[in-house]
Amino acid sequence: MEHFTIATVAEKSPDFRRVLWTGEHSQLVIMTIPPGGEIGEEVHPDTDQILTFVSGVGEACVSGQTRKVAQGDLVVVPAGRKHNFVNTGPNPLVLYTVYGPPEHAEGAVHKTKEEADALEEAGKDEPPTS
């Protein structure tokens, strides 16, 4: 059994993205977006994503609709929907997200968005294959 005090684990992580757990059908990831930073507009064609915000403030843009997000908010991004999350506050925007099926390489750690983007472009951030 895996057990996480998820808000505490997420807030202690300085990394842009860290995969905490990967199963056959889903994946748990924590993210820290620095002030002025963003996840970057993207689409996951075959992956649903649920994001829960632990601390900070930002904006969620999903399918052209923009809403403010803060601690305790949860946003659902169905597969195939264009989305981005932007930190609009002075402190890090911290969240955890569940992907179904997995989106990133098992155990992946991306210290910065630039590192994450480079690994994705190089094909080195692929989810595990069954």
Mean pLDDT in consecutive groups of 10 residues from the start of the chain, 130 residues: 93 96 97 97 97 98 98 98 98 98 91 87 68
CB atoms within 10 A of CB 29: 23
> What is the pLDDT at residue 75?
98
What dihedral do alpha carbons 101, 65, 31, 86 form, nearest 10°? Answer: 150
> What is the pLDDT at residue 128?
56
Calpha distance 28→4 (Å, rounded): 10
> What is the pLDDT at residue 59?
98
Calpha distance 93→10 (Å, rounded): 10
Calpha distance 95→120 (Å, rounded): 20
Helical residues (DSSP H) of the chain, grouped into ranges: 6-12, 113-121
Q: Which two tokens mark 116?
A: 């994450």
> What is the pLDDT at residue 122?
79
Asked if the peptide bond before residue 127 counts as cis, ω within 30 degrees of 0, the response is: no
Q: Where are the domains of the chain?
A: 6-121
Specify the pTM. Answer: 0.89
Query: What's phi and psi for 33, nearest 5 deg?
Result: -105, 120
CATH class for the region spanning 6-121: mainly beta
> Which run of H or of E encompasses 103?
none
